[in-house]
Amino acid sequence: MTRLVHGVCVLVLCGSVAFAQDAAPPPPAPELTNPSLAERLAAAAQDTLRNRDVGEASTRATAALLRAATRLAPAEPRFFRLLSEAVARMHDDQATIDALTAYRNLVPTDHGAQIEQVDLFLRVMETADAKLNYLRTISASDEVVPTVRAHAAFRLSEVLADRAQMTESDEALAEALKLDPLNLDALGVTYARLPADAPPERRVAALLALLRSNPAQAQIASVLARELSKVGLTKPAAQWYDTAFGIYMRTGAPPSPPEFVEYAATMYLTNELKNAEHLLSQLVIGNPSYMEAWYLRLIVNRGLGDKAATERVRQQTAAALTNVLADIRKEAGEEAATTQPLDPAPADPKWPDAAAMLERVKGADKPELLEAFADAALSAAWFLTYFEEKPDQAQPWINVLRGLLVEDSRTVARLEGWAFLLSNKPDEARVKLSAAAETDPLAALGLIRLAGADADAKAATDADAQRLLAEHGHGLTGATLADALAFRGIKPKPSEASKPVSDELAKFPATFTRILDAPGAFYSLRVEPVRISHQFGEPMLIRVTIQNNSEFDLTVGPDGIIRSDLWIDAQLRGIANQVFPGVAFDRLAGPVVLPAKKAMSQVILASQGQLTAFLMQNPTPSVQLSFTVTTNPSSVGGRVDPGPAGQRVTGGRLVERRGTPNNAALLAQRAMEAMSSQPAAERVRVMEMVATFAHVLSGQEQTDDVKSAIGALRDLLRRGTADSDPTVRGWALYLTVLTATDEERATGIEAMAADADWPVRLLGVLASHIRGGGRESLGKLAESDPDEIVKQYASAVAAMPATTQPTTQATTEPSVAPRPAPAAP
């Protein structure tokens, strides 16, 4: 092709004239278009996924129908976007690139789609050099928007890192953040690449940058809270834990048990003891074997001063620990091992023989079981030593740990030191505790307890205690230290490292996290119908507009503060306020960062799923509808609500579906007029209306008038089967076949499969898919149909089990199955 074009250019430039020896071929026939039929094919494609197990054949069938829709409506971007998602599920990278390219030609402002293209192009490149050249070109191009350039720079940093070119990789990463400071991927890698000895202010700055991109990241907020707690900033830490757990609650994602304990410890250190007790009591219900929660609960109840409650928790803690040991014994083959109730717990649970248990666990020859035993033995030794102050009962567990914790001898030294301390052997205790105190704060705590009582010794010890609490005043260890040192008047204070951390914290916009609970103060969501009044079968479109009213740029996308997902509900207004939840589910298309004071909008097909089924089954009455859009939808407890930073807004203007009079003569007259004067898209709608009313009348008492009306409507449908436009003719044939007898249907599908026009053959395959029959014709089309789309669709349907149930709104008896809730909204 390039050579031909070049030759033509040369002839023109030289002023030469060339005469073709053969007659020029006739121009190709114009491509058929029909947006109305395209809508119905797209709906059938979506229903294929909605109502069936989404296997490989269903996905191929969906893709084929969407290809047909794009062919019939090449100016409608929704179909190309749906097609790109379908072929992406098939892992067909080139087809996905082609669909996205066509989509972006229609919607060039969808930067998220452009980023998808960048990743797809990378995936099909075979060499690292090709990837590097491509990414350098994109990231340096002034013709590409900065957010897409930033993504290319981030991918460039990944390729360079794979080649161990870390200096260049870090430079590319920095360039990505220069182009887009809110790029979450680049921010995440920047944080991950911090050295282990990075000062706390650098770690906090990196975490805050991640939260500025999207504050709805519960795990990041939790990690930040822990970093703040480590330097003694317990009040800000508690605030960030509040934020993290609020996000967890609204999204239905459970926090990890260590996060619960860290949060409760921070509550304890900020004197919120009742809240800490409530949190821990909930944790141990679901995680009764998580001993750190029990230990912290003991400490908290001590602080509350309720002796009865403290004794009850002590008994429960002992029972929980012996239950852990019983589970290990049972797994090691000791069938007699049993657990005990926790509420009420026994006053004095029976402890197993530590040495015998070790031998039994070793005999089981299960490395993971031996590791679990070591953890449980350590818990038993510490509980009996520190909390129970029974060093004699702890000693057997300390003995078995000597052989198990060879590489962690300092832990054993700490346990032995505390056992000597409680046995009133201060010299032996000091030797053991000193060996571990440098790295074990609980061993250092034992040395403080051993300190002398004179004024100088007390002053020195208090200084050591304050420093110890400042350096290790977080989590269970921090709570243990604070509990043990309270009698000396030592209270948690920020460490020396807290000042630069506080400075970084002050740079974060204090009001920004309000977007999680008060998103309306940052962006507005507007829902407007594209058109108010609709006839039967006309698609209902709504325009969704998001206006950033804040001074902050807001990220948009799968990981943005405004996620891509849009959940649409519909509600009938009037006497029966019927709600149709989740009638549509769409994705925001546009910038990946919505600048301050800017807006984005898009048009969405709202009449889908259950709503379309209801409207088709009730064609006579006029109905008014409102549509509600939810951003950041989150499914918790089977209900979809706005998640963090999400809103739910109902359009202020009602949409009307005008009723169609149940008058066969009038309907036939209007249909005749439309079939003779209206464009093909309108004729498709009219044929569907005629078939629907014929179906409605067939369910009524079959009087002579009703029979006559049905006959007149079916005659109109038969006339449609002779329409000059193949899209209308094919649709009329399809509707006729759906209501035919089994024998007539098989004959009709065979005739459609042999038709000269591809839309008719495609609809014949759809009829077979919906109602069954004509399977032999499917095989022929799958093998040799001249049209690639028909061939692909026939092949996919032939691989699927035959059905006799309707599954698509394109029939006169549409499905009422709801669209499933989004995963992870």
**Residue 824: count of CB within 10 angstroms of its CB:** 14
Residue with tokens 């020396």: 496
* Cβ count near 113 (within 10 Å): 23
Structure tokens at 776: 């032999």
Q: How confident is the model at residue 514 (pLDDT cuts 50, 70, 90)?
A: very high
For residue 527, the tally of other CB atoms under 10 A from its CB is 20
Confidence at residue 453, expressed as pLDDT on a 0 to 100 scale = 66
376's tokens:
């449980």
Do 673 and 550 fall into the same domain?
no
CA pair distance 477, 265, nearest whole angstrom: 9
What average pLDDT does the segment 518-522 reach? 97
807 or 151, higher pLDDT: 151
Residue 445: the pLDDT is: 95
Chain segment 712-759, per-residue pLDDT in tens: 888 888 888 999 999 999 999 999 998 888 888 899 999 999 999 999
Rounded to an integer, the average pLDDT of 427-450 is 94
Q: What is the mean pLDDT of residues 654-682?
A: 85
Within-domain flag for 215: no
Neighbour count for residue 449 (Cβ, 10 Å): 18
Among 642, 657, 672, the domain-final residue is 657
pLDDT reading at 99 higher than 80? yes
Same domain, yes or no: 642 and 670: no
Tell whether 701 and 728 lie within a shared domain: yes
Q: DSSP states of 724-758 as a string? A: SSHHHHHHHHHHHHHTS-HHHHHHHHHHHHT-SSH
CA dihedral 200, 201, 202, 205 (to 10 degrees): 120
Closest CA to 82 of 122, 123, 113, 124: 113
Which of 628, 657, 686 is the last residue before a domain boundary? 657
* Residue after which a domain boundary falls, among 657, 686, 708: 657
In a domain, 526, yes or no: yes
pLDDT value for 254: 92
Mean per-residue pLDDT over the chain, rounded: 89
CATH assignment at residue 651: 2.60.40.10
Which residues have C-beta within 8 Å of that of residue 463, sequence separation ≥ 6?
Answer: none
With vertex at residue 605, the alpha carbon angle to CA 554 and CA 565, rounded to the nearest 5 degrees, is 30
Structure tokens at 18: 């060339």
Residue of higher predicted confidence among 713 and 29: 713
pLDDT value at position 637?
A: 81
If one compares 807 and 761, the residue with the highest pLDDT of the two is 761
- Candidates 629, 519, 536; CA nearest to 585 is 629
Count Cβ atoms within 10 A of the Cβ of residue 42 and give its class: 0-12 exposed, 13-18 middle, 19 or more buried.
buried
Instruction: Identify whether residues 585 and 700 lie together within a single domain.
Output: no
Q: Provide the residue range defining the domain that includes 612.
A: 519-657
Cβ atoms within 10 Å, residue 558: 12
DSSP string spanning 771-799? H---HHHHHHHHHH-SSHHHHHHHHHHHT
Per-residue confidence band for 684, with pLDDT thresholds at 50, 70 and 90: very high
Q: Are residues 625 and 677 in the same domain?
A: no
Query: What are 302-312's pLDDT values in tens digits?
Result: 999 999 999 99
Question: What's the alpha-carbon Rg for the chain, to the nearest Å?
Answer: 36
> Between 680-698 and 726-738, two packed helices, what is the crossing angle to 10 degrees?
10
What tens digit of pLDDT does each residue of 259-269 get? 999 999 999 99
Residue 586 lies inside a defined structural domain of this protein: yes
pLDDT at 822 (0 to 100): 33
pLDDT at 804 (0 to 100): 44
Does residue 48 register a pLDDT over 50?
A: yes
In the three-class reduction of DSSP (H, G, I as helix; E, B as strand; rest coil), residue 274 is classed as helix
Residue 695's pLDDT is: 82
Check whether 20 has a pLDDT greater than 60: no
pLDDT given for residue 123 in this prediction: 93
What is the C-alpha to C-alpha distance for residues 790 and 795, in angstroms, rounded to an integer? 8
CA angle, residues 723, 728, 734, in degrees to nearest 5: 105
Q: Running DSSP on this structure, what letter comes out for residue 562?
A: B
Angstrom distance (rounded) from CA 747 to CA 777: 10
CATH code of the domain covering residue 740? 1.25.10
pLDDT of 823 over the 60 cut: no
Instruction: Determine the residue type at 757.
Output: D
| Entry field: residues in the chain | 825
Lowest mean pLDDT among 65-69, 97-101, 349-353, 403-407: 403-407
Question: Is pLDDT above 50 for 674?
Answer: yes
Convert the pLDDT of each residue in 326-355 to its tens digit: 999 999 999 889 999 999 999 888 999 999
> Would you call the peptide bond into 77 cis, given omega within 30 degrees of 0 as the criterion?
no
CA distance 585 to 611: 13
Is residue 378 classed exposed, middle or buried when 0-12, 13-18 and 19+ CB atoms within 10 A define those classes? buried
pLDDT at 423: 94
Q: Are residues 524 and 635 in the same domain?
A: yes
| Residue 230 confidence (pLDDT) | 95
CA nearest neighbour of 76 among 33, 132, 123:
33
Number of domains in the chain: 2
pLDDT digits (tens, 9 = 90+) for 130-189: 999 999 999 999 999 999 999 999 999 999 999 999 999 999 999 999 999 999 999 999
553 has pLDDT over 90: yes
Shared domain check, 682 and 722: yes
Q: Please give the pLDDT value at position 9.
A: 32
Q: Is the confidence at residue 644, as pLDDT, over 90?
A: yes
One-letter amino acid of 768: S
Say what the alpha-carbon torsion angle 92, 51, 44, 686 is, to the nearest 10 degrees.
-170
For residues 203 and 580, what is the distance between their CA atoms, to the nearest angstrom? Answer: 47
Whether pLDDT at 686 is above 60: yes
| Residue 717 and residue 642 share a domain | no
Is 76 among the domain residues?
no
The pLDDT assigned to 3 comes to: 33
Q: Is the pLDDT of residue 620 over 70?
A: yes
Residues 525 and 632 in one domain: yes
Say if residues 770 and 740 touch (Cβ distance below 8 Å). Answer: no
Instruction: Please identify which residue in the block is written with the tokens 């790109």.
Output: 84
Give me the pLDDT at residue 25, please: 53
Beta strand 554-555 with 593-594 is antiparallel
Q: Write the CA distances from 357 to 329, 334, 346, 370, 448, integer angstroms.
A: 7, 9, 22, 10, 35
**Hunting for tokens 């991918």 — which residue is that?**
155
Q: Write out the two tokens for 441.
A: 């704060």
Same domain as 651, residue 713 = no
What number of other Cβ atoms are within 10 A of residue 462's Cβ? 16
| 546 or 779, higher pLDDT | 546
Long-range contacts of residues 69-72, Cβ cutoff 8 Å, at least 24 apart: 69/38, 69/39, 69/41, 69/42, 69/45, 70/38, 70/99, 70/102, 71/31, 71/32, 71/38, 71/789, 72/32, 72/33, 72/34, 72/35, 72/37, 72/38, 72/41, 72/727, 72/759
Q: Are residues 690 and 765 in the same domain?
A: yes
451 vs 91 pLDDT, higher one: 91
The pLDDT value given to residue 52:
52
Residue-level pLDDT at 805: 43
Confidence of residue 366 (pLDDT cuts 50, 70, 90): very high
Exposed / middle / buried, residue 682 (Cβ in 10 Å: 0-12, 13-18, 19+): middle
Asked if pLDDT for residue 50 goes beyond 70, the answer is no
Tell me the pLDDT band of 808, cut-offs 50, 70 and 90: very low
Quick check: is 715 in a domain?
Answer: yes
pLDDT reading at 27 higher than 80: no
Q: Can you tell me which residue has the tokens 């057997």?
A: 396
Q: How far apart are CA 262 and CA 221, in angstroms?
A: 13
Residue with tokens 């067909």: 92
Q: Per-residue confidence at 51, pLDDT binned at 50, 70, 90?
A: low
Please count the other Cβ atoms lying within 10 Å of the Cβ belonging to residue 438: 10
Q: Does any domain span residue 71?
A: no
Contact 697, 660 (CB under 8 A): no
pTM recorded for the entire structure:
0.87
Do 649 and 734 reside in the same domain of the chain?
Answer: no
Coil, strand or helix: which one is 10?
helix
Residue 583 lies inside a defined structural domain of this protein: yes
Structure confidence at residue 813 (pLDDT): 39
Residue 694 corresponds to which tokens in the numbers above? 């014929």
Q: How would you class 223 by CB atoms within 10 Å of its CB: exposed for 0-12, middle for 13-18, buried for 19 or more?
A: buried
Which H or E run contains 526? strand 523-529
Question: What's the pLDDT at 703?
Answer: 77
Of residues 802, 813, 797, the one with CA closest to residue 763: 797
Is residue 48 packed enough to be buried (19+ CB in 10 Å), middle (13-18) or exposed (0-12)? buried
Percentage of the residues of the chain whose pLDDT score is greater than 70: 92
Instruction: Return the pLDDT at 8.
Output: 26
Q: Would 651 be classed as within a structural domain?
A: yes
Question: CA 799, 768, 795 angle in degrees (round to 5)?
Answer: 30
The pLDDT of residue 225 is: 97
